[in-house]
Amino acid sequence: MNIGIIGTGRVGSALAQRWRALGHDILFGARNPNSEAAKAALAQVSGARIGSLRDAATFGEVVLIAVPGIAVPDAVRACGSLRGKIVIDATNWFGERPEASAPSVAEEIARLAPGARVVKCFNTTGTGNMLDPRYRAQNADMFLCGDDADAKAVVHALASGIGFDVIDVGPLSAAALLEHLAQLWVHLAYRQGLGPNIAWKLLRR
């Protein structure tokens, strides 16, 4: 599968490494493809290529958005049309939102990119877990939500393919829950001192 990755930071780089190892074709999209950060990300993923944000969006059957939440509107606009694409929103917003009633970032992407099949996923855990989701005898959980069942099935496979147990949280309107869950993960890891080797697990009986 062709995957365009918008952002060459920690999340973009981690998921690119894992998906490339599964045989997917990766094209990173960067504001400056010649920056040191962009070159470093590219060097970690053998066979990957890099271009503009629009290049990556055009290339990808799946397009991963992995930029800071505050940068999402600019990045999505720079992608050009995302109509028909499966767009994975891995982003989070930290700090004050511009409007108290602002929707989730995922719903904002859906608004900015008409026709995009947006799935929120990969935002609720750290990149260490994306690189290795195994915890002794268990896999870490990964939550996703979205309104397009076929798109969710593809993203489900991309998450389970790298070792997560995947939980479908429902429609895209549930994305705010996942964005808050991400804040709890960060709070526990970095403010409560648990560190980044923690992961979510839903128990059932």
Ligand X SMILES: NC(=O)c1ccc[n+]([C@@H]2O[C@H](COP(=O)([O-])OP(=O)(O)OC[C@H]3O[C@@H](n4cnc5c(N)ncnc54)[C@H](OP(=O)(O)O)[C@@H]3O)[C@@H](O)[C@H]2O)c1
List residues near ligand X by CB under 6 A: 7-12, 30-32, 35, 37, 53, 66-69, 71, 74-75, 90-92, 123, 126-127
Helix (H) or strand (E) holding 178: helix 175-186
Tokens of 99: 């409007």
Contacts of 8 (CB under 8 A, 6+ apart): 28, 30, 35, 37, 38, 40, 41, 42, 50
7 vs 146 by CB, closer to ligand X: 7
14 vs 151 by CB, closer to ligand X: 14
Measured CA to CA in angstroms, residue 125 lies from 50, 79, 140, 141, 143 at distances of: 26, 25, 9, 9, 9
User: In the bound complex, what is the minimum distance in angstroms from residue 73's beta carbon to ligand X?
Assistant: 8
User: In the bound complex, what is the minimum distance in angstroms from residue 12's beta carbon to ligand X?
Assistant: 6
Tokens of 109: 């992407």
User: In the bound complex, what is the minimum distance in angstroms from residue 201's beta carbon to ligand X?
Assistant: 17
Cα distance from N-terminal residue to C-terminal residue, the chain: 36
4 vs 12 by CB, closer to ligand X: 12
60 vs 126 by CB, closer to ligand X: 126
User: In the bound complex, what is the minimum distance in angstroms from residue 131's beta carbon to ligand X?
Assistant: 10
